[in-house]
Structure 1
């Protein structure tokens, strides 16, 4: 009987140690940011003209993919084309995209919900406004 208690106690200790010693690595990468996910562009407005992806020579399959670890990449024809790091200041409605080639784009987040994103930024001498839906 003493041997059984000894092994039962060891088993309980081993099980408790196993459950408490391991952390969930996913917790460190989780983000409450509503940006995290895949965003497909529905239209872009520049210089008073509206461009629809896949129409009139405008690339199709455009989008942005934001990860919880602070990285992002652009989609063109549904393929990853450019990548970098991003930061989002919710209070200032500012999204900063820092590409690997050191090009930085400062965007104003005009609207962000669970399913829709509108950003505005300057490209060359014109201001552009891009509309996205979350996939």
Structure 2
């Protein structure tokens, strides 16, 4: 069970890093207003929905908990639901994207600020705050809806055995934000 609590703690840390900077932008042009993606991104966005996917190595989080940690399917589903509920509470808040290429995010109980940039193809939004970089894939954007994905991967020594290889834990958060 120590391994399970260690895994949960590490997933929690990854989620916090991703959740505190839950920002989104899109590169499509809003045809009704003929605005560029950068122009469409300007404003204050609120998370209205999110979907979460966690993989441990090549297994879903639930399959990992059942097969590697020995939890019952019900216990694994409960732990997954608990994790999703926690992350949902951390994704409650706003992201303000300013025209001067700065942003302010207020998620959970934390406020952060930094600078943002948009890739040349307008498909990737990059947020930088005190040297930490968050990459966000823009799925779509309009004058009032932004859909984006944040993906975070981290090698973890789940079994705390230096002789075994680390396992890659990946968290994908698909966000829908509204103005």
TM tier relative to shorter chain:
0.5 to 0.7
Identify the structure with the greater helix proportion: 2
Q: Which protein has greater RCO, CA pairs closer than 8 Å, 6+ apart?
A: 2
TM-score by length of 1: 0.61
Deviations 1:105-127 (A, max 9, x none): 11110010001001112134211
Instruction: Name the counterpart of 1:84.
Output: 114
Structure 1 runs not aligned, ≥5 long = 1-31
Q: Does 1:127 align with 2:172?
A: yes
User: 41, 44, 47: which is aligned to 2:50?
Assistant: 44
Q: Distance in 1 between matches of 2:52 and 2:94?
A: 17
Equivalent pairs counted in the alignment come to 100
TM-score by length of 2: 0.47
Instruction: Name the counterpart of 1:8.
Output: none
Q: CA deviation at 1:57?
A: 6.5
Three-state SS of the structure 2 residue aligned to 1:68 is coil
Structure showing greater radius of gyration is: 1
Change (3 A) 1:43 1:84: same
Moved beyond 4 Å, runs of 4+: 54-57
- Please say if residues 73 and 80 of structure 1, whose CA atoms lie closer than 8 Å, have aligned partners that are also in contact: no
CA RMSD between the two structures:
3.1
Structure 2 runs not aligned, ≥5 long = 1-37, 55-79, 154-169
User: 95, 102, 106: which is aligned to 1:75?
Assistant: 106
